[in-house]
Amino acid sequence: MPDRYHESRVPPCADPMAAALWLTALPDGQEGHVLYEKAGCWSYAAGVLAEITVERGRAGWNRPAGGERDQAGHPFTQVDRLLRRAPLRGWRAYGWIGYEVDERRGSWPTGTTMHLMIPSVEIRLSADESVIRTTTKSDMRRLKAVLESAGSHPGTWPTTPYPERRPGDATYLKGVTRVQGIIAATPLRKAVISRRIPLEVPVDLRATYAAARPHNTPARSFLCELGRVGLVGFSPETVLEVQGGDIRTTVLAGTALADADAAVRDRQGRALRLDPKEVYEHAVTVAESLTEMDAISEPGTAGVATFMDVVRRGNIQHLSSTLTARLRSDLTGWEALRGVYPASAVTGVPREAAREAIRALETTPRGMYGGAVFTYDHTGDMDVALALRCVIVENGEARLQAGAGITASSVPERELAETEAKLYGIGSFLVASDPPSKGSP
């Protein structure tokens, strides 16, 4: 196994996103690949050089073959210990985490609940430069040539019709009422209840990303096909960012439509900031998240950097707050993530009480809904995007899933309409498998 990367900087591509999508069609990614967008930079990772999976609460190296397994402690703690012995200098890992990774209801969830890889090929594309990292010189030469010939647009495909209403609406409305009953009788203040929408046709993830990304304004976006999971997502927020010991999380709670007309959208945003239910939902979520942040931070460093801004995420807008702190010196990023995962934005307040309510109302495990896609490198820096606004493929079955934060003052029909808007934001850009070959590399 190689012990280091070769690295080369080359002139930027005219269209970084299009070039990144061309890369996802190369043979390098057949065993698994992750495309991850952050702040206008697309990182593409492919070629599984080493990988770790978590199954039934136990983490272990799948590659190198016969690698070490760890069985002690929280799955994130196990992964942290294993990565300290990663077989490559200067590595960066990419992967996904399921919502139930740490959840045990008598027995651990079956199947893989977390999967990460250290790639043999990593390419970062932005408007300023392209950076190629490979473990072989031959791959370096080949990928330089690929970037020189990459098309300016990944192609266009017809989207699949998306129905405005689906079965299960009545069940969701009853679920909202049930949550309000739990809130009235317990300390629970908010719970995020979701709806699953199975897709009847196979989805082309790459083409769906190409169709949907121009119409979304995500905090992060990703195209991930790794192990049993395929994902296309336009994440509205991060669960945790760690950089040089500084930590940050974004809290989005409180939702309104975002009209295409800027003047109408501005009025919707002002109304959102004055809506008692949405403001309450946001405030209690920020308070819960700040308490969690304080527990993983150096004393006195956790604080609210921005509060209750209005941010647009595609066809909807949210109330948004940013929390920052300095990571406790005795913790790693993985131990910090344990303190905030799964995010209160997809569970509720208090978090554990909300998880109990979710278990009672959602009879099917969430899997990737409310989970995360992430990067983590040898320096300890971490970027964890919440897996929302996604097309989810698990074990070959595709679906959409969306939820809303239920409080005592929720109006069931309004919460249903919120889930519809979230579903529509990606559901209206679905592309069926086997699209035309135009634009394909």
Distance CA 100, CA 369 (A): 10
Residue 65: predicted pLDDT: 60
Residue 111: predicted pLDDT: 86
**127: burial class by Cβ within 10 Å (0-12, 13-18, 19+)?**
exposed
CA nearest 438: which of 233, 210, 201, 160? 210
Q: Range with the lowest mean pLDDT among 50-64, 204-218, 271-285?
A: 50-64
Homologous superfamily of 169-427: Anthranilate synthase (3.60.120.10)
pLDDT tens digits along 319-344:
999 999 999 999 999 999 999 999 99
Higher pLDDT, 104 or 56: 56
pLDDT tens digits along 136-184:
999 999 999 888 877 554 455 555 655 444 557 889 999 999 999 999 9
Tell me: pLDDT of 294 over 50: yes
Residue 169: predicted pLDDT: 87
Provide the percentage of residues in the chain whose pLDDT is more than 90.
Answer: 80
User: What is the average pLDDT score of the chain?
Assistant: 91
CA nearest 331: which of 250, 248, 247, 249? 247
What length does the chain have? Answer: 441
pLDDT tens digits along 247-272:
999 999 999 999 999 999 999 999 99
pLDDT tens digits along 360-417:
999 899 999 999 999 999 999 999 999 999 999 998 999 999 999 999 999 999 999 9
The b-or-e profile of 3-32 (16+ CB within 10 A means b, else e) is eebeeeeeebbebbbbbbbbbbebebbebb
> Tokens in use for 350?
């208090």
Residue 66: predicted pLDDT: 62
Residue 246: predicted pLDDT: 98
Higher pLDDT, 95 or 148: 95
Q: Where are the domains of the chain?
A: 6-149, 169-427
Q: How confident is the model at residue 441 (pLDDT cuts 50, 70, 90)?
A: very low
Helix (H, G, I), strand (E, B) or coil at 114: strand
Residue 438: predicted pLDDT: 44
3-state helix, strand, coil in the chain (%, to 5): 30, 35, 35
pTM for the model stands at 0.94
Residue 436: predicted pLDDT: 43
Distance CA 289, CA 331 (A): 18
Tell me: pLDDT of 107 over 60: no
Q: How confident is the model at residue 435 (pLDDT cuts 50, 70, 90)?
A: very low
**196: burial class by Cβ within 10 Å (0-12, 13-18, 19+)?**
middle
Residue 440: predicted pLDDT: 44
Query: What is the mean pLDDT of the segment spanning 236-245?
Result: 97
The b-or-e profile of 279-288 (16+ CB within 10 A means b, else e) is bbbbbbbbeb
